[in-house]
Amino acid sequence: MKPSRTVSATAAIRTIPPRSTVVAAPGCGTPETLLTALGGLADTLRSARLCSGLQLGSYPFLEASAAGHLPYVTWHPYGPARAALRAGSVDYVPARASAVPELLDLWNTSVALVRVSPPDHNGWCSLGPSASYVRHAVDRAALVLAEVDPEVPRTHGDSMVHATSITRFVEADTPMCEFPAATRDSVSDRVAEHLLALLPERPTLQLGIGAVPEALTAFLLDSGLRDVRFVGMANDAMVPLFAAGVTPWSTEPRPAILAAELMGTRQLMEFAHHNPAIVLHDSRSSHSPQALAQIPRLVTVNSAVEVDLAGQVNAELVGSRQISGIGGSADFVEAGFGSPGGLSLIALPSTTPDGRRSRIVSRLGTDIVSLARHTPDAVVTEYGVAWLRGRSVTERAHALAEVARPDHQAALSASASRPQEIP
């Protein structure tokens, strides 16, 4: 049954007041129908501004942003937004995931665009795959516009929104955005094999986005490990772990998957539907270093663009080009470092895909440091594990040089022997 207050996407967007700060749900919860209408009407809206995290889909509003009709700011550039950021029509805010809800307060966010399931017989809708900052956006916004999609899963946790909290409903005319698995190769698999060897019994894992986390998750099937749980994000590769007995169905002492976002395809969405073992939380709790550090044997695995011989991590830029955001990495490395029996790991291929440039470098190629040198416990490439915790500047430099690709090791070892050149 169509909810009351259902209007066209155009009519819904026309209700946005002048000078509004609009926030859109990210990831697989991207409200593509509303964003398309927003882009088409941006020149009629007076001084509205859009902000969001990692959007999927076609970014149908970027043309309006480029024309100056709709300023767009993101704390997690992705897809077409990366090129627009370089062109100057999109702006970037450095922000860790746990702080984003407070940023929405700072910016006086007044309009929320979300994608929800149809209301149930008690009037409850689900935000489905996306809680993170979305839960807070709905709570604080004076105007909540929701596109309704029966394919949105009804998930547990901070994802339930009552129909009375929604100002206007719109029928979604675009499918849910999906996040397909990254393409694995022999390099990502070798990195994952080294990571697998570091895992303790009954670990709780935080895995970022990319081929290495996908490979590590797949390798868990035959690892012999049991009671493996996850925090931060869920993906398709986690689904088979339940049937294999690797990940438990139990919800105690915490859910098997405690996430801010579900980033996957229909397989993951159908599995998460009414599944109490998967719980979504607001990023103030799902990414809280203090709360996560209470979890024993928490192992966090995050990627990087490059790591220098001091152990400093650049996870955001290639040269001067912003390709990613800080996301949850700053929160998670602190949590892994503080967890009893836990680890904070940085995992990356040793070179760029063409093999010409080492990603273990003497000095970062940018002045921007995403993670300070004291944060990672270890850096992992396809050539092994460089342990950093407790090691001197010289010791860590040599350890990092040893996990570079062999044809880059000599130059890096020479730099490692000159401590004064290490930043």
Q: Which residues of 50-69 are buried (b: 16+ CB within 10 A; e: fewer)?
A: bbbbbbbbbbbbbebbeeeb
Q: Where are the alpha helices (DSSP H) in 260-392?
A: 266-272, 283-286, 289-292, 329-338
Checking if the pLDDT of 223 tops 80, the result is yes
CATH number at residue 382: 3.40.1080.20
* Residue 375 CA from chain centroid, whole number: 19
* pLDDT, average across residues 376-399: 96
Given this model, what pLDDT does residue 46 score?
Answer: 82
187: tokens are 């390099």
In a domain, 321, yes or no: yes
Write the DSSP symbol of residue 114. E
Residues 124 and 207 in one domain: no
Residues 167 and 27 in one domain: yes
Checking if the pLDDT of 423 tops 50, the result is no
Return the number of other C-beta atoms located less than 10 Å from residue 373's C-beta.
Answer: 18
Write the DSSP symbol of residue 340. T
* pLDDT, average across residues 58-69: 94
Given this model, what pLDDT does residue 4 score?
Answer: 65
Residues 115 and 208 in one domain: no
Q: State the amino acid at position 296 in one-letter form.
A: P
Write out pLDDT tens, residues 329-382.
999 999 999 999 999 999 999 999 988 899 999 999 999 999 999 999 999 999
Checking if the pLDDT of 295 tops 50, the result is yes
Residues 299 and 396 in one domain: yes
* Residue 362 CA from chain centroid, whole number: 28
Beta strand pairing call for 306-308 and 313-314: antiparallel
Checking if the pLDDT of 116 tops 90, the result is yes
145: tokens are 């516009």
Handedness of CA 25, 27, 33, 36 (dihedral sign): positive
Q: What is the CA radius of gyration of the chain?
A: 22
Write out pLDDT tens, residues 44-54.
988 899 999 99
Smallest CA-to-CA distance from 157 within 28, 327, 286 is with 286
DSSP H or E run through 9: helix 9-13
Are the CB atoms for 28 and 262 separated by under 8 Å? yes
Residue 99 belongs to domain spanning: 9-171
User: What band does 86 get if pLDDT is binned at 50, 70 and 90?
Assistant: confident
Residues 6 or more apart whose CB falls under 8 angstroms from that of 226 comprise: 201, 202, 245, 246, 248
Q: How many domains does the chain have?
A: 2
In a domain, 4, yes or no: no
Residues 224 and 163 in one domain: no
Residues 110 and 64 in one domain: yes
Residues 211 and 327 in one domain: yes
Residues 215 and 297 in one domain: yes
Q: Where are the alpha helices (DSSP H) in 132-274?
A: 134-140, 186-198, 211-219, 239-243, 266-272
What is the pTM (predicted TM-score) of this model?
Answer: 0.94
User: What band does 400 get if pLDDT is binned at 50, 70 and 90?
Assistant: very high
In a domain, 180, yes or no: no
* pLDDT, average across residues 204-216: 95
Residues 6 or more apart whose CB falls under 8 angstroms from that of 59 comprise: 35, 79, 80, 81, 84
Q: Following DSSP, what letter does each residue of 46-73 receive, concatenated? A: SS-EEEESSB-TT-TTHHHHHTTSS-EE
CATH number at residue 29: 3.40.1080.10
Long-range contact set of residues 415-418: C-beta below 8 Å, sequence gap at least 24: 415/309, 415/362, 416/309
Residues 234 and 361 in one domain: yes
Residues 197 and 163 in one domain: no
Given this model, what pLDDT does residue 419 score?
Answer: 55
Q: State the amino acid at position 212 in one-letter form.
A: V
Residues 207 and 137 in one domain: no
DSSP H or E run through 387: strand 384-387
Smallest CA-to-CA distance from 116 within 181, 34, 52 is with 34
Write out pLDDT tens, residues 145-168.
999 999 999 999 999 999 999 999
How far is residue 58's CA from residue 54's CA, in Å, rounded to a whole number?
A: 12
In a domain, 181, yes or no: no
Residues 6 or more apart whose CB falls under 8 angstroms from that of 369 comprise: 312, 313, 314
Q: Give the chain's mean pLDDT.
A: 94
Smallest CA-to-CA distance from 145 within 45, 259, 272, 258 is with 45
Given this model, what pLDDT does residue 421 score?
Answer: 47
In a domain, 238, yes or no: yes
